[in-house]
Amino acid sequence: MSSVVLIIGFWTILFISNALLKNYRKYSRRYKEFLENNGISLSICQVRWYTTSFNRSFVRFGKMHPYLLHVWFSVGVVVGVLLMFASVVILCLTLYKAFAKDAPEQVLTPVMPGVNVPWSQVLYYLVTLTVSGVFHEFGHAISAVREQVRVNGFGMFFMAVYPGAFVDLYTEHLTVISPLRQLRIYCAGVWHNSVLVIIGLVLLWSLPSLLVPIYATGQGAVVLNVLKESPVHGSITRGDTVLSLYGCQVYNKEDWNSCISKTLRSPQHGYCTDMLTIIRKNSSKGAIFSGGVYDCCQNSTSSRFCFNYQSLSHSKGHACLPARSTMQSRQLCSLPTDCDGPGDKVCAHPSLDNSSRLLRIIRSKGADVLYVGDPLLLQYTIGVINYLPRSYLLPMEIPNMLEMFLIYLVSLSGALALLNMVPCYSLDGQWALFALVDHTLTSFIPNEDQRNMLCNIILTLGTLLLAANITLALWTLGSA
């Protein structure tokens, strides 16, 4: 709710400021001239900027290597048509799954800063969406020049919380060229977005190799931050490298998450020792059963913990033992028979409730950290990354920032490529559908009105399909 208030407040202030400046006699003329000279216009929840400064650049790029550009945008037609069919299939499957089961898998997820995009990641969202939109429109512009269609200008806008771009093409030129040439123009945008997705995926996959001279990977999970609310705040600090968690080897961030999940799926394991050690180190004066667990240490010291033990000779009981030395055992157990060695072997389990674990966290430097509690708290309160700086002068955040940027770029550019080709009114798919039908069905349906009627039927169904998916996505987001 606070994010909605913030967005509404921003646009309200901007709208009022614009109205005041336009009507304030002292600055009105200069302000209006500034807006007009720079191609800026403001309306309710929208700012637009329009320029002809890029027209010569579009012409220059559009006339470079004509044959290569012809092949390039012809491939774009194939990709665009495939995306059109793929978008319809995916949206239909999403609706089918929504009615087939209670929790549908969402393909469409509305992106709302402050709602499902953290404010800390809003800059990634704005930059990648702008880059994707500009790259998309540059595709249209260069293809239009290649097909002898004049580009009137280029513009950008910011509507509510969504940045974007557009190109203004000369309609009279566009309508007289062949349907195939029109397709090259209409599909150029989504083709460029698809290329951007491929580039992003390649960079994301090769990022560890590209950064290997200055950042090491595979050394463990590197701690980026620890929240003040974390139970291990002060014990684990920024820059620590976690090597092992609960006996599970950690080489990267993915291992860290999977090891935490593993601790939740498996019961608390025990530690092998012997009966003589139990007798010698036990400081318990009796066990109290409270809250589903036994307390045999009675808060004597934080370094000791209550263990339930069972020996090979069938002795059972509770012992208050030094937690750190007990967990140093290299042998883990469920039963005493799992323990090797001479003497009356014992399997000692920490006395815990079902949701808690006693974990030993091994770091590359410093003493091991013992943690008692819900393992999920570690996942929620400790931020880890894969990259370890080779020099203390290097910022830890750079690889994570690059990775996050590429993830957003792939996601948002891919969404633009897919959704823009839905046969729906006001999207690229609308004009691509008309051109595709004219190119492929003219010999079968020579009457233009009949072809247009077919297109309008498909567009109506496509618009309803997209609207249903958006409604479903908003409902799912609201009920989450």
DSSP of 419-460: HHTSS-TTSHHHHHHHHHHHHHHTTT---HHHHHHHHHHHHH
Q: In the prediction, which pLDDT does 300 show? A: 62
HSE-CB for 281 with a 13 A CA cutoff: 20
Q: In the prediction, which pLDDT does 119 show? A: 83
CA atoms of 40 and 88, how far apart (whole Å): 37
Q: In the prediction, which pLDDT does 105 show? A: 59
The 10 Å CB-count burial string (b at 16+, else e) for 191-223 is: bbbbbbbeebeebbeebbeebeeebbbebbbbb
CA atoms of 332 and 324, how far apart (whole Å): 14
Q: Are strands 293-295 and 288-290 parallel, antiparallel or unpaired?
A: antiparallel
CA atoms of 131 and 229, how far apart (whole Å): 37
- The partner residues of 216 in beta bridges, in order of sequence, read 388
Catalytic residue, candidates 33, 36, 105, 137: 137
CA atoms of 214 and 390, how far apart (whole Å): 5
CA atoms of 395 and 388, how far apart (whole Å): 10
Q: In the prediction, which pLDDT does 106 show? A: 60
CA atoms of 88 and 429, how far apart (whole Å): 11
Q: What is the pTM of this model?
A: 0.85
Query: What helix, strand, coil percent values describe the chain, rounded to 5?
Result: 50, 20, 30
CA atoms of 442 and 448, how far apart (whole Å): 8
**Three-state DSSP state, 29:** helix
- The residue type of 223 is V
- Segments in the chain below pLDDT 50: none
Helices 66-100, 122-146: crossing angle, 10 deg rounding: 130
58, two tokens = 């579009």
137 counts as catalytic: yes
CA atoms of 116 and 442, how far apart (whole Å): 46
